[in-house]
Structure 1
Amino acid sequence: MGFLLRRATRFAISLAILVTASFAMIHLVPGDPVRAALGTTAPAELVEARRSALGLDLPLWEQFLGYVRGLISGDLGRSIGSDLPVSTIIVERLPETLKLSLLATALTLAVALPLGITMAVLTHGGRRRAAELGFAGITGMLTVIPEFLLAVGLVFVFAITLQWLPVAGKGGPASYVLPVLALAAGPIAGLSRVVRVDTLTVLDQDYMRTARAKRLPVRLLYLRHALPNVLTSALTIAGMLVVGLIAGTVLVETVFAWPGLGATIVQSIQQKDYPLVQGIVLVYGTAVLVVNLLVDTALGVLSPGSTVRES
């Protein structure tokens, strides 16, 4: 309970900092965001009316209190460009981003864990040197390629050249394949490399030698004895990769014209719609904090001894 309380306190402090930073963002941008959004030819009366409607003519401390009260009630303000509630736009676009993120996360875990363990078993003791070099080369290349560049390459090969999959947009199940692959390829490569190294370390432990000497079935040997000891460090890295995956949706959705928050925030930045940018940044930041909290909690459950030492 003490561990969970400390993690909850850190989460609350981080969330307060995020809220303050997202509020300050709109006031740190040079110039008048309303004038920038409406254009230089907009009448002064319209600009002032929109500033008053958004509460930007109030003292800063009143704006902040109103912003916090709005967050508590679910009101994120109104978009300057469309005059729609920011919360309405986010609710419409968030499910599409969540679908991509969850599918990419599930694919990453489903592929990276067994791939890393399998490669460790196959190359343990210096065996199959060619397979090890091939695995290291391919995964190393995938980890350094930016998501948007990988997305463009996937579109060129599978959508334009082979014409197997849609180029862009959201349609049937086939439209999910390329965006999910673009998001998950890097995390799969990075996590599988970590899992392989950790599994090699576990395979050299005395308890694994004892288990092999007892001629335990392969299923018990690797799933019961090796996998739980690999999960702790793998879960830490997976949490970091998921955070990067969430951020990667911004560029990937733009490449594939996906109707999610990533493409929306790019459009709102171009249109200088700062209240909408502010709301989406808050959603992305909260998602990162929640992922970190879940990973910390899972690590506390899987390895309670380490959390006691940390405390």
Structure 2
Amino acid sequence: MAISLWCLVTATFFMIHLVPGDPVRAALGSSTPADVVAARTRALGLDRPLTDQYLSYLHDLFHGDLGTSILTGQPVTDTIRTQLPPTLQLAALAFAVTALVSLPLGVLLAVTTRGGRLRSVESSFTGISVLMLAVPSFLFAQGLVYVFSIQLGWFPIAGRSGVASYVLPTVALAAGPAPFFARIVRAEVLSVLDADFVRTARSKRLPGWRVLLFDVLPNSLTSTLTLGGLLLTGLVASTVFVEQVFSWPGLGSTLVSAIQGKDYPTVQGIVLVYGSAVLAVNFLVDLVLAAVDPRPSTKR
């Protein structure tokens, strides 16, 4: 994780500095006198060689200092502390909706289409899931805004005010992953349903719901949890685009504004947060997999 974070920090630092344009000029405006721009550049240390700036950034980073925004003059840590909760709320809610929809739907599809039954249902659902996953989340979000906000007026067009404002962004984020995740659950459940221990459980004349709940589902969690972790990190990343559509006050919209304004410290800080979230989720998934894996460990 440490090596991955270092690679992420290094790549982000040099990539954002390759963006053409003067960040100080962009922040102060084109009419600002050259001497004022030069003084501000020296104050921010942007006149030093790039390697010196990189080493200074690493030094500050190790001391918990993410720098100061070029655009707003506020500490980046304060910006992240303010904008992170709305993003996490949106991603967590979308993940919960995806799990609540895809898990029972995948199990239902596995049970009803097992053995080649209802092939038309399976083919239709596969086509729908591929189509939903292929449509970009921001494009789907714009369609939701047009239909349910502009035409029908059921939900707010933008902003974060009240429960209703969460509906469309959550649907936009969960609409693509939910059917795809349901297909994964279906495949995992189908493979477990044909296992010997499931046939043994059925031979004991146990109720079908009991076999499904206590034998099939626990043994279907390994790959499902792995993909679930990837899904959660993907949802966090997708908020960058969805937040722009709905003017959601989160890290995603702040990141886009920072990139457009060439705000080096803010971009680096937010990307570091996103990367840390991805690594942390993957690490937690590994721990959970080790805990729930029904296979006995082999002692050497």
Q: Which moved more, 1:62-71 or 1:292-301?
A: 62-71
Equivalence for 1:4? none
Which of 81, 84, 91 is residue 101 of structure 1 equivalent to? 91
Equivalence for 2:72? 82
Could you say what secondary structure the match of 1:102 adopts? helix
Q: Which runs of 5+ in 2 are unaligned?
A: none
Cα shift at 1:17: 1.3
Q: What amino acid maps onto 1:289 in structure 2?
A: L
Query: Residues 307 and 286 (structure 1 numbering): CA distance in 2 closer, same or farther, change over 3 Å?
Result: farther
Q: How far does the alpha carbon of each residue in 1:247-298 deviate from its partner, in whole angstroms, 9 at most, with x for none? A: 1101100000101111111112222222222221111111111122122222
Q: What amino acid maps onto 1:239 in structure 2?
A: G
Query: Percent identity at matched positions?
Result: 57
Matched-pair contact (CA < 8 Å) for 2:69–2:263:
yes
Equivalence for 1:270? 260
Cα shift at 1:183: 0.7
Equivalence for 2:243? 253
- Superposition pairs for residues 166-177 of structure 1, below 5 Å? 166-177=156-167
Q: How far does the alpha carbon of each residue in 1:66-94 deviate from its partner, in whole angstroms, 9 at most, with x for none? A: 32232233321111111111111111111
Could you say what secondary structure the match of 2:176 adopts? helix
Query: Residues 304 and 126 (structure 1 numbering): CA distance in 2 closer, same or farther, change over 3 Å?
Result: closer
Asked whether 1:126 is paired with 2:116, we answer yes
Q: What amino acid maps onto 2:32 in structure 1?
A: A
Could you say what secondary structure the match of 1:171 adopts? coil
Cα shift at 1:192: 0.6
Cα shift at 1:197: 1.1
Matched-pair contact (CA < 8 Å) for 2:137–2:242:
yes
Cα shift at 1:146: 0.8
Query: Residues 150 and 26 (structure 1 numbering): CA distance in 2 closer, same or farther, change over 3 Å?
Result: closer
Equivalence for 1:3? none
Q: Which moved more, 1:196-205 or 1:254-263?
A: 196-205
Which of 189, 196, 202 is residue 206 of structure 1 equivalent to? 196
Provide the rounded CA distance (Å) in 2 between the counterparts of 1:199 and 1:140: 20
Could you say what secondary structure the match of 2:166 adopts? helix
Could you say what secondary structure the match of 1:168 adopts? coil
Provide the rounded CA distance (Å) in 2 between the counterparts of 1:138 and 1:265: 32
Q: Identify the structure with the greater helix proportion.
A: 1
Provide the rounded CA distance (Å) in 2 between the counterparts of 1:308 and 1:262: 44
Q: Considering only aligned residues, what root-mean-square deviation do their CA atoms show, in Å?
A: 2.2
Cα shift at 1:230: 1.1
Q: What TM-score results when the alignment is normalised by the length of structure 1?
A: 0.89
Q: Which runs of 5+ in 1 are unaligned?
A: 1-10
- Superposition pairs for residues 117-196 of structure 1, below 5 Å? 117-196=107-186
Query: Residues 187 and 308 (structure 1 numbering): CA distance in 2 closer, same or farther, change over 3 Å?
Result: farther
Equivalence for 1:23? 13
Asked whether 1:63 is paired with 2:57, we answer no
Provide the rounded CA distance (Å) in 2 between the counterparts of 1:210 and 1:40: 76
Equivalence for 2:226? 236
Cα shift at 1:217: 1.7
Q: How many residues align?
A: 300
Provide the rounded CA distance (Å) in 2 between the counterparts of 1:307 and 1:281: 38
Provide the rounded CA distance (Å) in 2 between the counterparts of 1:235 and 1:146: 24
Which of 104, 110, 114 is residue 100 of structure 2 equivalent to? 110
Query: Residues 75 and 306 (structure 1 numbering): CA distance in 2 closer, same or farther, change over 3 Å?
Result: farther
Matched-pair contact (CA < 8 Å) for 2:219–2:293:
no
Matched-pair contact (CA < 8 Å) for 2:102–2:179:
yes
Query: Residues 272 and 294 (structure 1 numbering): CA distance in 2 closer, same or farther, change over 3 Å?
Result: same
Cα shift at 1:308: 7.3
Q: Which moved more, 1:192-201 or 1:202-211?
A: 202-211
Provide the rounded CA distance (Å) in 1 between the counterparts of 2:97 and 2:9: 32
Q: What amino acid maps onto 1:207 in structure 2?
A: F
Matched-pair contact (CA < 8 Å) for 1:54–1:77:
no
